[in-house]
Amino acid sequence: MKRLLSGIVTAATLSAAGVDWRQSAFANADGWSTWAARPEIAPRTYIEPVISRGEAGSLAVSGNSNAAAYGGWERPIDVQPGRWYKFVAHYKASTVSHEAVQVVARIDWRTPDKRAGQPDYAWKVIPVGEGWKRLEVEAPAPAKAARANLQLYIQNAPQGVVYWDDLSFSEIATPGPRKVTVASVNFRPPRTGDAALSVRKFLELVDSKVSTGTDVILLPEGITIVSTGKKYADVAETIPGPTTTKLGEMAKQKNAYIVAGIYEREGVAMYNTAVLLDRKGQLVGKYRKVYLPREEIEGGLTPGNDYPVFTTDFGKVGVMICWDLQYADPARALARRGAEMLLLPIWGGNEHLGKARAIENRVFLIASGYDYPTYIMDPDGEILSVAKDNGTLAAATIDLNKRYYDEWLGDMRGRFMKEIRVDVATEPNE
């Protein structure tokens, strides 16, 4: 690796104790250096005097018509191992086709002479107006880290230009745990012949089995059709409707969020839908199953076309239903939209794919099934709790702030978000 253009800079003069560095004006490159893996793929770096978020000037990086270009600006700041830091960078991109991969802001932790631990990527994107976007990451300095190299790069965007401005790096308090208690239901009611009776059986189980203090209660797919002998059209209802009313009453009684799969009717269309009720019993939102197996399409159901993520009082959750598990994109889309926990009402499916979805997206996966295990799984694919018998619960308290870190690969949640190539065409060439 070689330093290019503006030479090597010494470590920042700010003390590691109480670091609070900010910069939003760039008349020159004082304190910054430029970097590229090889001189022949060095991007063009320069001070842009006009484009900025306020005070004049920004740091610019151009692909310079070089498809191999990778590199940009760097600035070192002293840190202390084990302390937590927050890096914020604002950028405006021009002619960049896939910003998630091609626009890179990260912390490269260093000892005095080599890398300490793995880089942490700022992958959470927040639009802030007028074409500017905010990237941020919070992370602890690894053992033996003495310096944080703040890196602002462009990657393989030959016609692209990225302008960087309004930057900050500050020490923050160590985040405490963000604990959530989850209960997932394993239950197939006895033959009822009636949707309302099946729903009542589910709610009786929830009432008797779910403990006070539970935050999320998950029921399986199709609670209005299981054990009834009915067809989809016989049980489909509007949302809100009678079943969401009953679920809402139980959610309010338990002071918990409830997710359950029902069948929805809207006009002539019917959907395999999962609903989310909040602690007050109000409908937060619904998810319509995107991947319908042939049997459901032939039964008259219509597929959904979106992957909504819902904000709760403890974090962000996404919902998938059964056959969605068979394909990689539902879980990936929900994780990329910020979901930390995926709730899966499911009839039956491939257990190996469930584990894969949790691991590849670095999310908690909660499943409630009939012919599929009812469990709570962590981002490493480890089952924390499983309900093996009908009429039982899988219950566990999870920590959404726990950092699942790989010694050799780093924080794979952030790394996955920055390396996933959804921009590459998958359809066959015509």
Q: Are residues 127 and 185 in the same domain?
A: no
Percentage of the chain beyond pLDDT 90 is: 90
Q: Give the tens place of pLDDT for each residue, 364-382.
A: 999 999 999 999 999 999 9
The yes-or-no verdict on residue 11 having pLDDT over 60 is no
pLDDT band, residue 15 (cuts 50/70/90) = very low
Evaluate whether residue 39 is within a structural domain. yes
pLDDT of 7 > 50? The answer is no
- Say what the pLDDT of residue 422 is: 86
Lowest mean pLDDT among 169-173, 319-323, 386-390, 411-415: 411-415
Query: Who wins on pLDDT, 406 or 86?
Result: 86
| 74-78, 252-256, 282-286, 425-429, range with the lowest pLDDT | 425-429
Select from 174, 201, 230 the last residue of a domain. Answer: 174
Q: What sign does the CA torsion over 175, 181, 186, 189 have?
A: negative
The secondary structure of 293-349 as a DSSP string is -HHHHHTT--------EEE-SS-EEEE--GGGGGSHHHHHHHHHTT-SEEEEEEEE-
Whether residues 50 and 124 share a domain: the answer is yes
**Predicted confidence (pLDDT) at residue 9 exceeds the cutoff of 70:** no
What lies within 8 Å, CB to CB, of 424 at 6+ separation is none
Mean pLDDT throughout 208-217? Answer: 97
CATH of the domain at 27: 2.60.120.260
pLDDT for 336 equals 93
Q: Is the pLDDT of residue 160 over 70?
A: yes
Same domain, 210 and 134: no
- Tell whether the model's pLDDT for residue 84 goes beyond 90: yes
Whether 227 and 299 share a structural domain: yes
200: nearest Cα among 257, 250, 263, 253: 250
Same domain, 278 and 251: yes
Task: Name the more confident of 346 and 12.
Answer: 346
User: What pLDDT is recorded for position 407?
Assistant: 85
Q: What is the rounded CA–CA span in Å between residue 189 and residue 376? A: 22
pLDDT in the model for residue 54 = 85
Pair 344, 258 in one domain: yes
Residues 168, 289: one domain?
A: no
- pLDDT, average across residues 266-282: 98
Asked which of 174, 207, 240 is the last residue of a domain, the reply is 174
What pLDDT, on the 0 to 100 scale, is given for residue 428? 86
pLDDT > 70 in the chain, percent: 96
User: Residue 425: its pLDDT value, please?
Assistant: 85
Q: Nearest 10 degrees: CA dihedral of 90, 96, 98, 103?
A: -40
Last residue of a domain, one of 174, 194, 222: 174
* Domain, as residue range, for 260: 179-400
- Is residue 290 scored above 80 in pLDDT? yes
Please state the rounded mean pLDDT for residues 47-68: 96
202 and 166 together in one domain? no
**In this structure, are residues 321 and 303 in contact, taking their beta carbons and an 8 Å threshold?**
no
238 neighbors 245 (Cβ within 8 angstroms): no
In a domain, 170, yes or no: yes
Residue 411 lies in a domain: no
CATH of the domain at 351: 3.60.110.10
- Tell me the per-residue pLDDT of 87-103, one tens digit each, with 9 for 90 and over: 999 999 999 999 999 99
Asked if the structure places residue 430 within a domain, the reply is no
Mean pLDDT over residues 108-125, rounded?
94
Question: Is residue 410 a part of any domain in this protein?
Answer: no
User: Is 428 a domain residue?
Assistant: no
Q: Same domain for 162 and 191? A: no
Mark whether 166 and 188 lie in a shared domain: no
Based on the fold, state whether residues 134 and 222 are members of the same structural domain: no
Residue 99's pLDDT is 95
Q: Would you say 156 and 91 are in contact if contact means Cβ atoms under 8 Å apart?
A: no
- Alpha-carbon distance of 429 to 247, in angstroms, equals 48
Same domain, 345 and 396: yes
Surface-to-core class of residue 366, CB atoms within 10 Å of its CB (0-12 exposed, 13-18 middle, 19+ buried): buried
Q: What local confidence, expressed as pLDDT, does residue 3 receive?
A: 40
Domain count, the chain: 2
Is residue 415 assigned to a domain? no
Q: Mean per-residue pLDDT for 18-46? A: 95
pLDDT confidence bin for 17, thresholds 50/70/90: low
Kindly state whether residue 90 falls inside one of the protein's structural domains.
yes
> Which is higher by pLDDT, 12 or 248?
248
